[in-house]
Structure 1
Amino acid sequence: MIEITINRTESGIIQSFEMSGHALFADRGKDIICAGVSAVSVGAINAVHELTGVTPDIEHRVDGFLRCVVPEELPDDVHEKVQLILEAMAVSLRSIEEEYGKHIKITFKKQEVE
């Protein structure tokens, strides 16, 4: 199962996300769930960088682990663009989860204090 955690600040802003595991829906190279999750998450990271100039802190491993942390102290206009891209990613991932919930689980965590 692919497990995804999206971490939000107390005010609801996406601060980071991480994912690990494999969907095990089909053989390697034919797993549409893994491919979809990878395309959505890596596409969002690439879009943040390309469209806003922000380079998130990223850790990526061949075992399927991915962590992305948004830098703090961004200008308001840039921060809003980054959030829009990450919220779109979350919507896309939830769509995959709705259809293939046996293979992907998303957890949203909210900080208690900022």
Structure 2
Amino acid sequence: MTTIVIFKSNDSYKGFTCMGHAGFGCSGKDIVCASISVLVINTLNSIEELAKEHIVTESNEKEGYIECHFPDDINDKTKLLMDSMVMGLKEIEQNYGTRKKKKFFELIIKEV
């Protein structure tokens, strides 16, 4: 199962962690894992390149782990990109999070 925890404080994003593999399909054919990966990685790249935001990341591809922290207050572009990622992740959770009583993906938004 993949779990993403979004850290927020007073409606501002502080970072997030993405952990695990969804297990929805075979390795290389897991549409849930692929969808989550595309959203998360594209968001990180967009935050750096388009929003020019300083971010601190750590990852382990084999373990399915990505961590991102915003050491400073984020700008409006970063907030928009994070809002967009969360919106996409909510759709994935709604449509594929649980199937036949098996959980594949969980999105948690945590106030810090």
Alignment TM-score, normalising by the size of structure 1? 0.88
Q: Distance in 2 between matches of 1:73 and 1:7?
A: 13
State the shift of 1:44 in Å. Answer: 0.3
State the shift of 1:55 in Å. Answer: 3.2
Q: Deviations over 1:18-67 (max 9, x none)?
A: 01011111110000000000000000000001102223100010210110
Q: Which runs of 4+ in 1 moved over 2 A?
A: none
Q: Distance in 2 between matches of 1:73 and 1:94?
A: 24
Q: Distance in 1 between matches of 2:58 and 2:38?
A: 16
State the match for 2:27 in structure 1: 28
State the match for 1:93 in structure 2: 89
Q: Distance in 2 between matches of 1:6 and 1:33?
A: 18
Alignment TM-score, normalising by the size of structure 2? 0.90
Q: Distance in 1 between matches of 2:49 and 2:35?
A: 20
Q: Distance in 2 between matches of 1:39 and 1:73?
A: 25
Q: Distance in 2 between matches of 1:51 and 1:70?
A: 15
Counting matched residue pairs gives: 106
Q: Distance in 2 between matches of 1:4 and 1:73?
A: 21
